[in-house]
Structures are given as C-alpha cells and as structure tokens.
C-alpha cells in the first residue's frame, strides 16, 4: 500500500495530525475558529471605538397602551364616568317608562291627604307634626324606589351581566345611590311645596339650610337602602325582605331627618340643630364607605 507524501495526512487520520507541534492552531483546541476577515479583535466587555450603529425604527404609529378597565384599575375620571353612566341608565329607563315616577308622586301625595284628614291642623301646629308626615311619605316612597332600582337587573338574570362588566363594583353602587337620591329629591321638590299649601303653613326658615338637611338625609337613606336592596335582589321575596332589613338600620337617619326638618321649618338658628346635622353627615360617610367596601362581596353572593 502506497504511503501519502510528506506533509499530507493519511486517510482517516485527524485533520490536524499533520501540523507540527507548537503550531498556534493546535492551542485553541478542536473548537477554535479563525476570525473573520476584517473583523477587529476586541477584549471581552469592551465596546469598539466609534459611534454606535442606529437601530431601525418602525415608521408606523406607536400604539397607545390603555390600562385595563377591570375591577380596581380605572382612574378617577373613568370611575366618575362609570358612576354617571349607571345613574344615567336608570334615569333614562325611568323617563321612557315613567312608571316609577308616577307611583312615587301619587303615593307621597296620598300620605299627605290621609294625614290631612286624620289631624285638624287648625288646632295642631304643622311644625310639630309636619316633619314626621313629610318623612313618612319620603321614606316609603324611597322604599318603592329602592325595590324598583334592582328590579331591572333582577329580570332575566341581568345581574350576571353586571358581574361580568368591566366597571368597578363601587362605581355601580354609587351610580345606584345617585339615581335613587335624584328620584327622592324630585319627589321632595314637589311634595314640600304641596304640603305647605295643603296645611296652610307659612315657611319662615332658610332655604339653604332646608336644602342641606334634605340632601344629607336623602343621601343617607339612599346609601343604606341601596346596599340592602342589593342584598335582597336575588331572593324570592325581596320586596318583603327589604323593609324588614332597611327600617331598623334607617332609624338614626329617620330621627335626624325629623329633628332637623322641624328646626328648619320653625326657622330656628343653625346652632340648635348642628349636632343632628353632624350625626347625619357621619352616618352618610360611614355607610357609604362600608357599602363601597362590601358591595363587591354582596353582589357575588
């Protein structure tokens, strides 16, 4: 068998077997590679001198990243917008049907007529009985408004759509409170002048103090009533269960409403009923804060 010439490796021998010992190509091992032509050698961790190459940027517009609209991720503007949308939905639904408004007005007017025939207000002063009569009409009208507030969501299990909606649950609660307060305020704006004319009473108090008293007590009643209405919305006898739960919890707001209204109708100074106004304000804040924290679990249950 012929041997290969000198300097040429034999067939089947390693490729570098023909290299003389001490050659630089043998020091790098089998994995050593030759540097490419024109490539400058640099130490590890150092950047080659000269300006960095510019990256190619896409010519299209950069898409904006909006925060998700899920629970607890909306900002203050979107939160207030969600509250306004919920209240607007209830108000538009009522303006289309006008069923609830007619019921509330006629019920409150019926209460005034019954008490007008029950008592002789030529002998009894309206200041002594008038505030109680007014708030009996307002509270029972508010119960009707609260029971109707979740009736739309109760039909065809629309409450499930609320649970799956991207708005905050507390925004939904505050929207319901706002809508109920506006319904009750509309009834109060009509019934109070009618009662003054019906009972032949001459109002001598301050209009600003009267508005403050009615707003605070109306919001407080709507706040606690909306929470209990949400609790009873998925029960079979929710209309009967709502007053049983609501009236014991609404006793402080009812007492404060009657006391402050009597002072306002009599035209007494604000310092005489400032403590009742402070009690009403504290009641509103406590129930609103507690309901905002608990409304999520109330709807899920």
Q: Is the pLDDT of residue 137 over 80?
A: yes
Q: Is the pLDDT of residue 127 over 70?
A: yes
Q: How far apart are CA 84 and CA 206, in angstroms?
A: 31
For residue 49, being part of any structural domain is answered with: no
Mean pLDDT over residues 34-38, rounded? 54
Percent of the chain with pLDDT over 90: 22
H or E element: which one contains 52?
A: none
For residue 223, being part of any structural domain is answered with: yes
The tokens for 66 are 């909006």
The tokens for 240 are 């009967």
Q: Is the pLDDT of residue 16 over 70?
A: no
pLDDT band, very low/low/confident/very high, at 15 (cuts 50, 70, 90): low
Q: How far apart are CA 92 and CA 84, in angstroms?
A: 12
Helix residue spans in the chain (DSSP H): 76-97, 99-118, 126-149, 151-154, 159-164, 169-198, 207-231, 238-249, 251-266, 274-300
At residue 117, the pLDDT reads 85
- CB burial readout 143-159, b (16+ within 10 A) else e: bbbbbbbbeebbeeeeb
For residue 143, being part of any structural domain is answered with: yes
Q: Is the pLDDT of residue 138 over 90?
A: yes
Q: Is the pLDDT of residue 161 over 60?
A: yes
Which residue did the predictor score with more confidence, 183 or 298?
183
Do residues 176 and 94 lie in contact, with contact meaning Cβ atoms separated by under 8 Å?
Answer: no
At residue 148, the pLDDT reads 80
The size of the chain, in residues, is: 301
For residue 27, being part of any structural domain is answered with: no
Q: How far apart are CA 295 and CA 173, in angstroms?
A: 7
**pLDDT for 46-73, tens place per residue?**
555 555 655 554 454 444 444 444 444 4
For residue 268, being part of any structural domain is answered with: yes
For residue 100, being part of any structural domain is answered with: yes
At residue 288, the pLDDT reads 92
For residue 6, being part of any structural domain is answered with: no
At residue 65, the pLDDT reads 45
Which residue did the predictor score with more confidence, 164 or 238?
164
For residue 13, being part of any structural domain is answered with: no
Q: Which residues, 6+ apart, have CB-to-CB distance to 298 below 8 Å?
A: 227, 230, 231
Q: Which residues, 6+ apart, have CB-to-CB distance to 149 below 8 Å?
A: 90, 176, 179, 180, 226, 229
**pLDDT for 211-245, tens place per residue?**
999 999 999 999 999 988 888 877 777 778 888 88
Q: What is the mean pLDDT of the chain?
A: 77
Which residue did the predictor score with more confidence, 224 or 20?
224
Do residues 94 and 183 lie in contact, with contact meaning Cβ atoms separated by under 8 Å?
Answer: yes
Lowest mean pLDDT among 88-97, 142-151, 154-163: 154-163
**pLDDT for 263-298, tens place per residue?**
998 888 888 999 999 999 999 999 999 988 888 887
**pLDDT for 71-93, tens place per residue?**
444 444 588 888 888 888 888 88
Lowest mean pLDDT among 149-158, 197-206, 212-221: 149-158
Q: How far apart are CA 82 and CA 167, in angstroms?
A: 7
Which residue did the predictor score with more confidence, 301 or 88?
88
Do residues 250 and 221 lie in contact, with contact meaning Cβ atoms separated by under 8 Å?
Answer: yes
Cα 225 to chain centroid, rounded: 16
DSSP-derived letter for residue 237 is T
At residue 277, the pLDDT reads 93
Q: How far apart are CA 289 and CA 95, in angstroms?
A: 30
Mean pLDDT over residues 108-136, rounded? 85
Q: Which residues, 6+ apart, have CB-to-CB distance to 126 below 8 Å?
A: 199, 200, 201, 265
Q: Residue 277 to residues 135, 139, 239: CA-CA distances in angstroms?
A: 16, 18, 31
Cα 24 to chain centroid, rounded: 75
At residue 70, the pLDDT reads 43
Domain that holds residue 226: 76-300
Please provide the DSSP assignment of 89-117 as one string: HHHHHHHHH-HHHHHHHHHHHHHHHHHHH
At residue 172, the pLDDT reads 87
Domain count, the chain: 1
């Amino acid at each position: 068998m012929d041997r290969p010439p000198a300097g040429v490796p034999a067939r089947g021998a390693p490729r570098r077997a023909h290299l003389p010992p001490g050659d630089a190509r043998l020091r790098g091992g089998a994995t050593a590679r030759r540097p490419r032509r024109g490539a400058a050698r640099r130490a590890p961790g150092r950047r080659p001198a000269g300006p960095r190459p510019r990256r190619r940027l896409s010519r299209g517009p950069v898409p904006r990243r909006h925060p998700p609209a899920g629970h607890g991720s909306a900002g203050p503007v979107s939160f207030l917008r969600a509250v306004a949308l919920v209240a607007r939905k209830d108000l538009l639904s009522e303006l289309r049907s006008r069923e609830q408004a007619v019921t509330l007005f006629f019920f409150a007017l019926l209460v005034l007529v019954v008490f007008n025939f029950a008592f002789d207000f030529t002998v009894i002063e309206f200041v002594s009985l008038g505030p109680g009569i007014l708030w009996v009409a307002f509270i029972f009208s508010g119960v009707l408004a609260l029971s109707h507030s979740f009736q739309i969501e109760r039909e065809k299990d629309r409450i499930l759509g609320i649970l799956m909606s991207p708005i905050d649950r507390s925004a939904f609660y505050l929207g319901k409170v706002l809508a109920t307060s506006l319904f009750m305020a509309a009834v109060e704006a009509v019934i109070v002048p009618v009662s003054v004319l019906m009972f032949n009473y001459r109002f001598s108090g301050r209009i600003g103090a009267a508005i403050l008293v009615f707003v605070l007590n109306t919001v407080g009643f709507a706040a606690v009533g909306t929470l209990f209405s949400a609790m009873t919305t998925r029960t079979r006898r929710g209309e009967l269960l709502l007053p049983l739960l609501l009236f014991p919890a609404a006793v402080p707001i009812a007492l404060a409403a009657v006391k402050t209204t009597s002072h306002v109708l009599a035209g007494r100074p604000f310092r005489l009923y400032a403590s009742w106004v402070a009690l009403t304000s504290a009641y509103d804040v406590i129930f609103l804060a507690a309901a905002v924290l608990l409304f999520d679990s109330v709807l899920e249950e």
